[in-house]
Amino acid sequence: MKIELIGLKHISIINEKTDLSKLIINTLEKQKFNIEDEDIILIAETLVSKSENNIIELDKIKTSEKSIKIAKKIGKKPELIESILNESKEIIAIGGDFIIAETKHGFVCANAGIDESNVESGFATPIPINPDKSALKIRETLENKYNINLAIIITDTQGRAFRNGAVGLAIGSSGIDPLWKRKGEKDLYGKELQTTEIAIADELSAAASLIMGQADEGMPIVIIRGFPNFRNLRNTEKGIKSLLRPKEQDVFRS
């Protein structure tokens, strides 16, 4: 078994006029790389937000007493704190230099997923407004052009509870079931699996993150080729929501 990770080079600067589908097509042509049936294309969320003009100009954010108070506590700009509050439907905890929030999408992450890296100074990018919809649009365009089956995953880099460091996670998907439910299958000893579920979209995102990087690698689009369970998990209806644990099942917030 072999799985390949292929980072696309020659990615041009993204702005609100960029059509990501056309960008991918043009990049494939420049790199002289042929996309294949059952390839999985992973795209960093910053590209999606920029192309959709979903960018925060921090100097234009009006701060509140609450954001100023929190900013003094954790040592961040009040404008950034206000932006985090605006993107959140619940503030869960305030740490030493971060805020754990539930975003409007339902993601629980640091600073509501707002990122100041890989964007011009004075600006920040929030999580795309509808990552599943963005992934769907790109997938349908590319599938129609190449007449093949593909999956698109929008990725972000986030920390995890009880562990240091950040990993790639999926925040949007189309063309593949993000959650692989293996209940009823047998393990190596013939015992039936009772509860096993694999966050396959997150695992693929973490793999792609090895190439995407977090600094100046300049490779925000990665193709994964040879994933052996593409056909089993092929799904054009489901988005990322199945990966989100319902609040009533979250023992840390109950």
Identify the pLDDT of residue 194: 87
**Where is the domain boundary, 106, 127, 148?**
127
Does 210 lie in the same domain as 141?
yes
Does 151 lie in the same domain as 120?
no
Does 77 lie in the same domain as 9?
no
Does 93 lie in the same domain as 32?
no
Q: Per the structure, how many domains does the chain have?
A: 2
Identify the pLDDT of residue 237: 94
What is the C-alpha to C-alpha distance for residues 230 and 205, in angstroms, rounded to an integer? Answer: 15
Angle (nearest 5°) at CA 55 between 52 and 59: 155
Identify the pLDDT of residue 203: 97
Q: Find the domain containing 164 and state its range.
A: 1-53+128-254
CATH code for position 205: 3.30.1330.100
Q: What is the pLDDT of residues 55-102, one digit of tens each?
A: 999 999 999 999 999 999 999 999 999 999 999 999 999 988 899 999
What is the C-alpha to C-alpha distance for residues 129 and 239, in angstroms, rounded to an integer? Answer: 14
Residue 143 pLDDT > 90? yes
Does 188 lie in the same domain as 138?
yes
| pLDDT confidence band for 214 (50 / 70 / 90) | low
Identify the pLDDT of residue 169: 96
Does 218 lie in the same domain as 137?
yes
Tokens of 39: 């390839």
Backbone conformation region of residue 28, classed left if phi is above 0, alpha if psi is from -120 to 50, else beta: alpha
| pLDDT confidence band for 254 (50 / 70 / 90) | low
| pLDDT confidence band for 15 (50 / 70 / 90) | confident
Does 86 lie in the same domain as 187?
no
Which tops the pLDDT comparison, 8 or 192?
8
Does 139 lie in the same domain as 206?
yes
Q: What is the pLDDT of residues 144-190, one digit of tens each?
A: 999 999 999 999 999 888 899 999 999 999 999 999 988 888 888 88
Identify the pLDDT of residue 217: 64
**Where is the domain boundary, 105, 127, 149?**
127
| pLDDT confidence band for 213 (50 / 70 / 90) | confident
Cβ–Cβ < 8 Å for 168, 209: yes
Mean pLDDT of 128-132: 96
Cβ–Cβ < 8 Å for 178, 238: yes
Does 155 lie in the same domain as 175?
yes
